A and B are shown apart, each in its own frame.
Chain A
Amino acid sequence: MRGKILVIVEHRAKEIREITWEILSGLKSLIDNYDMELQAVVLGHRIDSLVGELAESVAKLYYIGDEELEFYTWERYLYALIPLIEEVGPKLIIMGHTSTGMDLAPRLSAAMDSPYIPDCLNFRFDGEDLFVTRELFGGKLNSEIKAAKNKSYFLTLRPGIFTPKGEKGQQKQVKGIATAFDKKGFLTQFLGLLEPPREGIDITKADIIIGVGRGVGDREKVKVVEELAKVTGGVLAGTRPVIDSGWLPKERQVGQSGKIVKPKLYIACGISGASQHTIGMKKSEIIIAVNNDPHAPIFKVAHYGIVGDLFEILPAITSKIRSVKSPR
């Protein structure tokens, strides 16, 4: 396969987001066998330092600068990107499966009448045909998908599956692109960026985290997990459904929309292991998962696994630790 790959860069608060580095590193290995050129486009306002950093990592960088592009909105990105993509003619347009990718990629691909495959783990070409792998049912099945033949394809790649290697080359060509927005015609207005609330406990500082999943059953039963947290000196954290149900406060949410944690020990209790959660804890030093389903995707990221009933296993562990810590 020959052609260009265009990565749409993500940045927030004057920093390039980790996902962009992950994609740029991951793509270098994915396109090893193809004659494809890795290019990127960054949209923003007064981000010259970011532009310099990026230009060392790709063959060619497009920079669309405009005060309207200081913050991401689907509409400004859509109108700025369509002419560029038409002019460059990339085979693949790639973003992360992030809040930005989920918001923009389906809409932009629809506007350009191109196939879009979200949340991909990888891709390959067989002749002219594009195949990707993605997960179904929260990671229980894998699905191989073939895109209908087209001149370009849109993909979002799952965050956390590639490791940024930080390899830099010489600074390459940066092409500035001017835009001409019809500002009055905008249907979407950006009003502000809210920062994460700072009240409550900071779970990212904890050495030991005991994670609560929906498998725990109900709010009352969280007490059994809390006992384990107490004897280990750890803190309780939870998956999104647990926070949504009000079993634990919001500041204890681990995952894509919550906190990214890397404790010495993470014990996942009744957590199935959806990628939105595991992205937030899979870099923990030791991961122990307890689940009654031997096929639960959490065992893909765990170092040690226990299949069984939480309410038999956790109390046994708790009392054992208690006896070890205070020998009679």
Chain B
Amino acid sequence: MEVFVCLRQTAVVKEEPKIQPDKKGVDLSGLKRHLNEWDAYALEEALLLTQRYGGDVSVISLGPKEVEDVLFHGLAAGAKKAIHIFVPEREQIDNWVIANILSREIKKYPFDLILTGAQAEDDGCAEIGATLAQLLKIPHASLVMKVIYEPDAKSIKVERELEEGYMDVLRLRLPALLTIQTGINQPRYVSSLRLRRFKKAGTILRVSFDELISEAGDVYPKKEVVRLYPSRPEFSKVEMLGGSPEAISDQLIELLISKGVL
């Protein structure tokens, strides 16, 4: 089975991210970047499926030069092909444009399955997977927690996660697209030594964004960022306890006793 995995590189944000002077983007300089957490599970699921049933995994990503790091990670983890669609960092494209570009490129190859992460850590949109499936006119299932391949029927059986522990069981005709939820597997460890080896010797197929966009025709962003601003907790609403750990404990215990919880 031939499986495509769409990978996204996201910035690792611990403290408050810096906003660009025009307020429309985040200043990513100096931030560590990594493979979007959900995509790591999608990649692992693709590798497990092809190990069990045969076939190859291809990884594809769109973005600045830096995204080749996640593509090399894909190759080092076991993918056979990596495709990079170069887009400069500050280009304002939205998920609609990204899905259109991905569909244009993926269409050039035979595939049985496309996997994406269920959402991205940065924008949390959960948008590209189902959009891409619609553009390719193939069935999809989102938030997938289990995949069983049914080669004779050319179908897959999946479980998708609903709220509060409920699951849907579905059968999809292949080719299909799945968005993968975290926890479906344990993504494999790729040693830095192995990653370095693939960064030296691995091959990435580089594809022109402009060509794909002109092939796609009238594709324009359907939304734009007008303004970013920090979403800080309102400290008027939360009472902060300060001091030494002992002082904090004293305040807290007094509080819990007065509220009748202890």
A76 to B172, CA, bound (A): 13
Across the interface, name the chain A residue whose C-beta is closest to B99.
A110
Q: Are B124 and A305 in contact (CB under 8 A)?
A: no
Known interface pairs A141-B26, A142-B231, A306-B248; A190-B241 also in contact (CB < 8 Å):
no
Interface mask (A290-313 → B, CB under 8 Å = 1, otherwise 0): 000101110110111111100011
Residues of B within 8 A of A319 (CB): 249
Is the C-beta of A178 less than 8 angstroms from some C-beta in chain B? Answer: no
Q: Could you say which interface size class chain B belongs to?
A: 35 or more
Number of interface residues of A (CB under 8 A): 93
Interface mask (A12-23 → B, CB under 8 Å = 1, otherwise 0): 100001000000
Interface mask (B132-163 → A, CB under 8 Å = 1, otherwise 0): 01110011111100000000000001011111
What is the distance, in angstroms, from A316's C-beta to the closest C-beta of chain B?
4
- Complex interface residues of chain A between 219 and 254 (CB less than 8 A to chain B): 232, 240-241, 243-244
Across the interface, name the chain A residue whose C-beta is closest to B224.
A146
Is the C-beta of A192 less than 8 angstroms from some C-beta in chain B? Answer: yes
Interface SS of chain A: helix, strand, loop or mixed?
mixed
Q: Are A137 and B139 in contact (CB under 8 A)?
A: no
- Complex interface residues of chain B between 48 and 64 (CB less than 8 A to chain A): none
Residues of B within 8 A of A293 (CB): 14-15
Across the interface, name the chain B residue whose C-beta is closest to A159.
B163
From B124, B133, B223, B242, contact of A147 by CB (8 A): B223
A140 to B134, CA, bound (A): 31
Residues of B within 8 A of A116 (CB): 96, 127, 131, 222
Across the interface, name the chain A residue whose C-beta is closest to B241.
A306
Is the C-beta of A9 less than 8 angstroms from some C-beta in chain B? Answer: no
Q: Are B96 and A299 in contact (CB under 8 A)?
A: no
Known interface pairs A99-B142, A304-B252; A196-B166 also in contact (CB < 8 Å):
yes
- Which of B131, B162, B173, B224 has the most chain A CB atoms inside 10 A of its CB? B162
Q: Are B162 and A138 in contact (CB under 8 A)?
A: no
Residues of A within 8 A of B223 (CB): 115, 117, 145-148
* Inter-chain residue pair count (beta carbon < 8 A): 262
Interface mask (A107-129 → B, CB under 8 Å = 1, otherwise 0): 10111001111110000000000
Interface mask (B114-126 → A, CB under 8 Å = 1, otherwise 0): 0000110111111
Residues of A within 8 A of B134 (CB): 106-107, 110-111
Residues of B within 8 A of A188 (CB): 139, 141, 170-173
What is the distance, in angstroms, from B133's C-beta to the closest C-beta of chain A?
7
Is the C-beta of A180 less than 8 angstroms from some C-beta in chain B? Answer: no
Is the C-beta of A26 less than 8 angstroms from some C-beta in chain B? Answer: no
Q: Are A146 and B166 in contact (CB under 8 A)?
A: no
Q: Are A73 and B226 in contact (CB under 8 A)?
A: no
Residues of B within 8 A of A240 (CB): 182-183
Which of A36-44, A52-60, A86-94, A259-267 lies on the face that meets chain B? Answer: A259-267
Across the interface, name the chain A residue whose C-beta is closest to B13.
A137
Q: Are B17 and A115 in contact (CB under 8 A)?
A: no
A256 to B238, CA, bound (A): 23
Is the C-beta of B221 less than 8 angstroms from some C-beta in chain A? Answer: yes
Interface mask (A255-282 → B, CB under 8 Å = 1, otherwise 0): 0111110001100000000000000000
Residues of B within 8 A of A104 (CB): 130
Q: Are A308 and B245 in contact (CB under 8 A)?
A: yes
From A119, A135, A145, contact of B231 by CB (8 A): A135
What is the distance, in angstroms, from B93's C-beta to the closest C-beta of chain A?
13
Additional A-B contacts beyond A138-B121, A244-B182 (6; CB < 8 A): A98-B163, A99-B162, A100-B162, A110-B130, A131-B226, A320-B252
Interface residues of B (CB under 8 A from A): 11, 13-17, 19, 26, 96, 99, 118-119, 121-131, 133-135, 138-143, 157, 159-173, 176, 181-183, 220-235, 237-242, 245-246, 248-250, 252-253, 255-257, 259, 261-262
The 9 closest A-B pairs by CB, nearest first: A196-B165, A299-B233, A316-B245, A244-B183, A115-B222, A187-B139, A194-B167, A320-B249, A110-B134
